[in-house]
């Protein structure tokens, strides 16, 4: 028989993605868990495997297509199959003029292309049936009138390149389907295009409602010279949305301090090979992760989230630290769980593994979630300091800049010391400046005098 292969549930709050690679071709034989496509979501690039073994008879997607969880991406004929297409595929062959586009994989995850009245009753986005059992399957008079009006208007214009289900969604949202710009092959309009059109319309309305303080529309830059436009990548778009949310939601303050890590350097040199043999790389980030885990226990407000709606502070009894990774696609923040329970060697191995997989698009969506605190280390690039943005709903992030040799007054004379600049951005609704200074100074003390980690106690003001 022929099995429909659908996009499975990928991760929490992940509902759609963009196809960045098709890994099989029609006629290929696949086994269970063989990857079929690569899908880029708002969180990561993941491979979608085949849940069955058999021969690929049809591919319904291509690179660049937008798909949602539950969309059919391929059909596979399993052993003992008759070679016939599934019923949904047969219906798709008896479709509207959109059929040629769907057969080429242009429409991703659309419903079978039936005559539109039949699709309306069961298509995607259709409202739940109401009324008594005798009313099932009958279209309300108001909807019938709308259908007639739409049909009359459509008669004067060529049909929009989309599916009946998407046309219905556009009608329900009050959108002229012809005004929507399609992102698919040959301008084909997807459900995501309709929603993006609506979002853009509301955003424009919000700007107008905000008054003179709202950013004005961009000028026509081509008036002054040659320009080039580039579509934002998924990661870049997500970074933009996340940082704007964080900047508006969190009242940021940044505390600066520096640690004398002269004594830390010999420790790292002596243990570098042992950590490398375990599969990691001993870095300041790995050591800081361990130190910060201890600091978060000592100062629990930094391991919290604030709920202004309920007037509550949510203190977390787990410590998951996100480590910001610079990748060719943009900034990703994979999360190391239970940092307080891991050794420095285990943290070094975990950071090395997550960073490599983040850069090679192999990190999993759930590995980018659940962080309670973050570390951003720009020391490998340069700079003397920066003010990192708190990743809401976290309340603090530690920034690490490049260490430098500086003269420090020690034992009645100036001596060269290796100084590491640190910056702590925090949510001032949760953390007061004095507590931020104490937190960061305690981190510096631990780097300078490692036994500080073992003193114990909780010095944070509990008020």
User: What DSSP assignment string belongs to 208-254?
Assistant: HHHGGGSPPPPP-GGGSS-----PPPHHHHHHHHHHHHHHHHS-EEE
Q: How far does CA 396 lie from the centroid of its chain?
A: 20
Q: In this structure, is residue 127 part of a structural domain?
A: no
Same domain (yes/no): 168, 289: no
Mean pLDDT of 258-268: 89
Q: Is the pLDDT of residue 217 over 50?
A: yes
Q: In this structure, is residue 132 part of a structural domain?
A: no
Same domain (yes/no): 256, 295: yes
pLDDT-derived band at 437, boundaries 50, 70, 90: very high
DSSP assignment string, 43-83 = S-EEEEE-SS-EEEEEE---TT-EEETT-EEEEEEPTT--S
Same domain (yes/no): 172, 285: no
Residue pair 78/3 in contact by the 8 Å Cβ criterion: yes
Q: In this structure, is residue 216 part of a structural domain?
A: no
Strand pairing class (404-410; 335-336) = unpaired
Neighbours of 178 (CB within 10 A): 13
Which residues touch 262 (CB under 8 Å, ≥6 apart)? 417, 418
Write the pLDDT tens digit of every residue in 40-73. Answer: 876 677 788 888 999 999 888 888 888 888 889 8
Bigger pLDDT: 166 vs 155? 166
Same domain (yes/no): 396, 254: yes
CATH classification at residue 115: 4.10.320.10
Residue 150's pLDDT is: 53
Write the pLDDT tens digit of every residue in 344-356. Answer: 999 999 999 999 9
Q: How far does CA 151 lie from the centroid of its chain?
A: 40
Bigger pLDDT: 158 vs 359? 359
H-helix or E-strand spanning residue 275: helix 264-277
Same domain (yes/no): 358, 247: yes
CATH classification at residue 48: 2.40.50.100
Mean pLDDT of 9-19: 74
pLDDT-derived band at 94, boundaries 50, 70, 90: very low
Task: Note down the domain range covering 199.
Answer: 108-121+160-211
Residue 427's pLDDT is: 94
Same domain (yes/no): 242, 201: no
Q: In this structure, is residue 101 part of a structural domain?
A: no
Total domains in the chain come to 3
Same domain (yes/no): 270, 369: yes
Q: Any catalytic annotation for residue 197?
A: no
Q: How far apart are CA 259 and CA 40, in angstroms?
A: 40
Q: Is the pLDDT of residue 99 over 50?
A: no
The string over 314-351, giving b where at least 16 C-beta atoms fall within 10 Å of a residue's C-beta and e elsewhere, is eeeeebbbbbbbbeebbbbbbbbeebbebebbbbbbbb
Q: Is the pLDDT of residue 203 over 60?
A: no
Q: What's the mean pLDDT when you consider all of the chain? A: 78
Same domain (yes/no): 290, 384: yes
Residue pair 189/173 in contact by the 8 Å Cβ criterion: no
Burial of residue 50 (number of CB atoms within 10 Å: 0-12, 13-18, 19+)? buried
Same domain (yes/no): 413, 265: yes
Same domain (yes/no): 304, 373: yes
H-helix or E-strand spanning residue 433: helix 433-448
Q: In this structure, is residue 91 part of a structural domain?
A: no
Write the pLDDT tens digit of every residue in 404-416. Answer: 888 888 888 888 8
Lowest mean pLDDT among 150-164, 253-267, 422-436: 150-164
Q: In this structure, is residue 265 part of a structural domain?
A: yes
Residue 156's pLDDT is: 54
Mean pLDDT of 197-226: 68
3-class DSSP state for residue 8? coil
Q: In what order do the strands lie in the sheet with 35-40?
A: 45-49, 35-40, 16-22, 66-68
Q: Which residues does residue 420 pair with via DSSP β-bridges, in sequence order?
A: 259
pLDDT-derived band at 385, boundaries 50, 70, 90: confident
Same domain (yes/no): 252, 174: no
CATH classification at residue 333: 3.30.559.10
Q: In this structure, is residue 231 part of a structural domain?
A: no
Q: In what order do the strands lie in the sheet with 29-30?
A: 2-6, 72-77, 54-59, 29-30
Q: How far does CA 227 lie from the centroid of its chain?
A: 29
Residue pair 14/42 in contact by the 8 Å Cβ criterion: yes
Residue pair 413/400 in contact by the 8 Å Cβ criterion: no
DSSP assignment string, 338-358 = -GGGS-HHHHHHHHHHHHHHH
Q: How far apart are CA 407 and CA 260, in angstroms?
A: 11
Q: Is the pLDDT of residue 450 over 60?
A: yes
The one catalytic residue in 248, 428, 449, 454 is 428
Same domain (yes/no): 61, 24: yes
Q: Is the pLDDT of residue 153 over 80?
A: no
Q: In this structure, is residue 102 part of a structural domain?
A: no
Most confident of 89-93, 201-205, 342-346: 342-346
Residue pair 280/351 in contact by the 8 Å Cβ criterion: yes
3-class DSSP state for residue 423? strand
């Amino acid at each position: 028989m022929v099995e429909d292969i659908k996009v499975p549930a990928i991760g929490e709050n992940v509902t759609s993605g963009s196809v960045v690679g098709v890994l099989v071709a029609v006629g290929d034989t696949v086994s269970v868990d063989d990857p079929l496509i690569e899908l880029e979501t708002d969180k990561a690039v993941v491979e979608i495997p085949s849940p069955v073994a058999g021969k690929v008879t049809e591919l319904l997607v291509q690179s660049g297509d937008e798909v949602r969880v539950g969309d059919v991406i391929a059909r596979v004929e399993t052993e003992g199959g008759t070679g016939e297409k599934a019923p949904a595929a047969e219906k798709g062959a008896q479709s509207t003029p959109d059929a040629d586009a769907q057969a080429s994989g242009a429409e991703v995850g659309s419903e079978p292309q039936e005559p539109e009245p039949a699709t309306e009753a069961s298509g995607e986005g259709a409202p739940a049936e109401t009324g008594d059992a005798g009313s099932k399957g009958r279209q309300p008079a108001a909807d019938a009138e709308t259908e007639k009006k739409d049909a009359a208007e459509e008669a004067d214009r060529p049909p929009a390149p989309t599916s009946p289900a998407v046309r219905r969604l556009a009608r329900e949202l009050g959108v002229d389907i012809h005004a929507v710009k399609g992102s698919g092959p040959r301008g084909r309009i997807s459900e995501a295009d309709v929603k993006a059109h609506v979002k853009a319309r509301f955003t424009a309305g919000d700007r107008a409602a905000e008054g003179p303080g709202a950013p004005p529309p961009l000028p026509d830059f081509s008036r002054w010279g040659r320009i080039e436009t580039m579509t934002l990548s998924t990661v870049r778009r997500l970074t933009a949305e996340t940082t704007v949310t964080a900047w508006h939601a969190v009242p940021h303050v940044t505390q600066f301090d520096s640690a004398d890590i002269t004594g830390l350097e010999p420790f790292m040199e002596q243990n570098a090979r042992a950590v490398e043999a375990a599969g990691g790389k001993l870095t300041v980030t790995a050591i800081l992760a361990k130190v910060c885990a201890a600091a978060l226990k000592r100062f629990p407000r930094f391991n919290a989230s604030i709920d202004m709606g309920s007037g509550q502070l949510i203190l977390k009894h787990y410590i998951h630290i996100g480590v910001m990774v610079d990748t060719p696609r943009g900034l990703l923040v994979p999360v190391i769980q239970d940092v307080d329970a891991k050794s420095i060697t285990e943290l070094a191995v975990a950071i090395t593994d997550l960073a490599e997989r983040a850069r090679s698009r192999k990190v999993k969506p759930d590995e980018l979630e659940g962080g309670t605190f973050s570390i951003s280390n720009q020391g490998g690039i340069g700079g003397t300091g920066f003010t990192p943005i708190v990743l809401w709903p976290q309340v603090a992030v530690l920034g690490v800049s490049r260490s430098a040799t500086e003269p420090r007054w020690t034992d009645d004379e100036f001596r060269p010391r290796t100084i590491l600049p640190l910056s702590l951005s925090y949510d001032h609704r949760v953390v007061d400046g004095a507590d931020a200074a104490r937190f960061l100074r305690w981190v510096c003390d631990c780097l300078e005098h490692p036994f500080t980690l073992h003193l114990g106690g909780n010095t944070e003001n509990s008020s």
